[in-house]
Structures are given as structure tokens and as C-alpha cells.
Amino acid sequence: MSEAKKIKLKRIAQLLFFKRHIYPGAKEWELEKYVGRNYRVYIEEFKRYIEPLGLTVKEVEVSSDDKVERYFVVVPIEPLPLSEVHTFNLSIVDLSVLAVSLTMILTSRNRRVSRKEVEEILKSKFREYEIKRSLSKLIRLGYLNEVEDDLTMGLRSILEIDLKRLTSSIISYSGEPSYEDSHGSE
Amino acid sequence: MLSLKEVYERIIDLSLKVYKGEVDPLDIDLADFIKYIIEADVENLPIDLMYLDINALYGLALILEAQSRVIKEKTSGLYIDKILAKLNLVKMSISELSNVLRLSWRPNAEASFIDIESINRALIYFKSRIMIKFIPPEKVSKEFKPIQYYIEERVSEHMGRLYNELVESAGFNWIDYYEFIERGDKIFRAYILSFLITSGYVQMKVDRIRKKILIKACEKPIEFRNPVSIPVVFRHVGGKED
């Protein structure tokens, strides 16, 4: 491998692993600036290095107001075992609150749902203080946004959660555990 | 026949309803509205109508954006039926919900680090700090006695009395926190006031610009959405207020 190629791969690793902004990973313009216009070639090369470690690079397009931005983040290939999820500071309550909030946001017409409506559904499962604490935490971590009295999807949810899979799992729920559910939570 | 002003106002109102999610964007036929806007003689419009024209055009752009998003969602399979989703969310147990999210969650991998420049900056800062006078623990126990209050009456009675005093002195307006607690036994009043604040009968805010802590009595106890703790510091030396 040439020296120039090594330097570019190192730059990609630094940009994607070391957090320098509020948002995780790197934006497209950063990769263009520090790696070059042909950064995609190096991203593919970088993927080959991290895939044996169970990681990959995910590309997400996020539209906000009048512009569309492209983000690149390093994520695990496989879902994490439930025991490891706890180390990310999210409890089972937080995960359930996030699942309900995201589904409600996704079913709303304008990608925003009244906080009260979400709290109403959550009240059937959790105590009021648990709901408030968990929603505050998810807002603070960037998984949800609070706009006026409504909840919208946070950037981290867009980057880290496979929304299609989440909604299809909830819609296709039949009350019986699926193969994945029973084998994926070791 | 509607006047041009009425057409503009209708478009603006409709776009706001779409933005708030009250109207399905696909129910709107944009061509009808665009026809009205194109027909307007923009060069000879009075300034108020010109302003409405710009807003209406912006509103139409918002509706168009909402329409394209809904179509995109419907075709990508992300569109889901709200009632069915709600029913399933209520039916699912907490562990089922968390498991569904976990299986679709790929947290981003991040590395934490501290560079040599930050360590140097921290060292310079640390050296610049003035050493706080060291007081041995045995001396501390003599100088600072623990503050204890044996409240014989029920705390709620004290709370009621302090609340009434606050309402009498300031009504339901903001008042300086220190000024209020210094009117009597400072620590005791601060202690009782903390109960009033926690239970929502008194609101507290920190004015960072004027460097003041303000309190206000509430007519009805307020409900906390995102509760926070506010530590308040005041001087109290040797049992005497200072």
C-alpha cells in the first residue's frame, strides 16, 4: 500500500471514530476536505479493514429545512446482545420509550407528534416519573427533539436506527415471539 | 368569487395546517392554487398583497415538500397505519418493545481520547489555581456544626405559612430569592422553600445575565416536564448568619 493511501485511510479512521462535533461520525464535506473528492474509494477500502471486527460504515441522508446533508458513521453489522446495550447507558425502559416515540413520530403526518399523545400510550406501561425521566434523557442524548410541545426524530435516531425494520416489526407483531426475538437476546 | 387577498390567506392557512399535520398533503390539488398565483399581476400589486403573495408561494413550496415526502415514504415502505401501530404498541410488553428497538439499533462506534495539548492546558490551569487553605478534619468538626432542624409541627404547615408570606409580599410576581430568605431564619426558610419549589407551589429561575436567583409563587402547583436540580449557595458561619 502506498504512503498516500495509508495517510488517507488514517484520516478516515480519525474522522469517523473521534467525535469532534455534537453529531457522531463525519459529514460528507469533511471527508471531501480531508480525504479528497474520491473519498468513497477510501471508504470502501476502510470498510474492508473494519468488517472483520464486526463494524461497517453507514451512509445516511438527512434533510433539514432547505438542505440535504450526508453523514457517515461507523456502526456494528449485527444487533448488539441485550446485556451489552446496558453499557450504553440505556435501560430497557429507555429503549421501550424510544420504540414507542419513534413509531408515533413515523405514523404522524408531519414527522412530529404531540408529547402528550406519546405520554398517554406510555402511561399504560410506565409510571409518570419514569416516562418524564426517560424522555428527558433521550432528548439530551439526541435521539429525540422537542419542538414546542411536540416530539420529532433526533439525528442519532436517524443515524443509528433502522426505521424500516423497527416499524415493520411493530406492524407485524402477532403476540408470538419470532425466531429472531428468541435467538437475538442472549 | 374570492378576492386575491382571500386566496392568498387560504393558501397560507392551508400550508400551516399541512405543516402542523392537521391536513393530509395529498388531499390538496396544488395546480388550482398555482393557477391563481400565476394569474396575479405581481408588478402592480400593492405592498401588503405582495407580502401575502411571497408567503403564499412559500406555503405552496411547503405543501409540495410534504407531498413529496409522503409519496417517498409510501413507496419506500415506511408508511404505516397509525391505528394499527398504536394498537400493537399498547399490546406489546416492555421487553418486547425494547427487543424490537434493540434489533433495529446500530449504535455508532466512537473512540474517546485526550490529546497532549489538552493535558498541557489542564496542567497550566491547575498550577494557576490558588491553593485553598487546608483545614484538618478534627478542626472542621469544631468550626462547622451540622445544621439540624427539629421541626415539631408538620412541614406542610410551615410550607403553607411561608407560601402565604411570599404571596403577601410579592403576589404572583418574581422576587429575589436571597432577599426573601434573609427576612428571618435564613437556613430554615431556605429549607422550607426547597419543599415548596419541589412540590411546584413556587417557581425558581436563575437569571444568568443579572446573576440573580428569582422565585415566584404559583396560583396552582405546576407540573414539571424536565425537572432539574438547582444548588443554591449562601454563607453561614459558626451558627451565625453572615
List, for residues B106-145, the tens digit of each pLDDT value.
Answer: 888 877 777 788 888 888 888 887 766 666 666 665 555 5
- Please judge whether B113 and A100 are an interchain contact, meaning their C-beta atoms are less than 8 angstroms apart: no
Whether B112 maps to a domain, the answer reads: no
Domain boundary residue, one of B41, B76, B111: B76
Q: How many angstroms separate the Cα of A117 from the Cα of each of B16, B66, B203?
A: 21, 22, 26
Question: Three cell numbers at B71?
Answer: 409519496
pLDDT digits 0-9 by tens, B136-189: 666 665 555 556 666 666 778 888 889 999 999 888 899 999 889 888 888 888
Please count the structural domains in chain A.
2
Torsion, Cα A117 A123 A126 A129, to 10 degrees, reads 80
* Interface confidence (ipTM) of the complex: 0.78
Q: Select from B69, B82, B98 the Cβ nearest to the Cβ of A96.
A: B98
Domain boundary residue, one of B52, B76, B100: B76
Euclidean distance between the first and the last CA atom of chain B, given in angstroms as a whole number: 77
Cross-strand pairs, B241 = B236
Domain boundary residue, one of B28, B43, B76: B76
- The answer to whether the predicted template modeling score (pTM) of the entire model surpasses 0.90 is no
Structural domain span for residue B22: 4-76
Q: Select from B90, B98, B104 the Cβ nearest to the Cβ of A124.
A: B90
The CATH number of residue B184's host domain is 1.10.10.580
- Please judge whether A165 and B226 are an interchain contact, meaning their C-beta atoms are less than 8 angstroms apart: no
Distance CA B194, CA B197 (A): 5
Do B152 and B230 lie in a common domain?
yes
Please count the structural domains in chain B.
2
Amino acid at B103: L
The pLDDT of residue A22 is 74
Do A111 and A133 lie in a common domain?
yes
Chain A contact for B25 (CB, 8 A cutoff): yes
Do A43 and A71 lie in a common domain?
yes
Do A117 and A162 lie in a common domain?
yes
H or E element, residue B31: helix B30-39
Domain boundary residue, one of A13, A46, A76: A76
User: Of residues A183 and B93, which shows the higher confidence score?
Assistant: B93
Do A27 and A100 lie in a common domain?
no
- The low-confidence residues of chain A, meaning pLDDT below 50, are 179-186
Residue B239 has pLDDT above 80, yes or no: no
Domain boundary residue, one of A51, A76, A101: A76
Spatial contact of B135 and B127, defined as CB atoms under 8 Å apart: no
Strands B240-241 and B212-217, how do they pair?
A: unpaired
Q: Which residues contact B162 (CB under 8 A, 6 or more apart)?
A: B189, B192, B193, B196
Distance CA B103, CA A83 (A): 13
The pLDDT of residue A186 is 36
Q: How many angstroms separate the Cα of B176 from the Cα of each of B61, B193, B210, B211?
A: 49, 13, 11, 11
Q: Of A112, A173, A48, A168, which Cα lies nearest the Cα of B76?
A: A168
Question: Three cell numbers at A90?
Answer: 440505556
Residues of chain A positioned with their CB less than 8 A from the CB of B21: 108-110, 112
- Please judge whether A110 and B20 are an interchain contact, meaning their C-beta atoms are less than 8 angstroms apart: yes
Q: Of B210, B214, B114, B134, which Cα lies nearest the Cα of B166?
A: B214
| DSSP three-state, residue B56 | helix
The pLDDT of residue A185 is 40
Structural domain span for residue A108: 82-174
Q: Which residues contact A92 (CB under 8 A, 6 or more apart)?
A: B94, B95, B98
pLDDT digits 0-9 by tens, B25-58: 888 888 878 887 787 777 787 888 888 888 888 8
Do A118 and A166 lie in a common domain?
yes
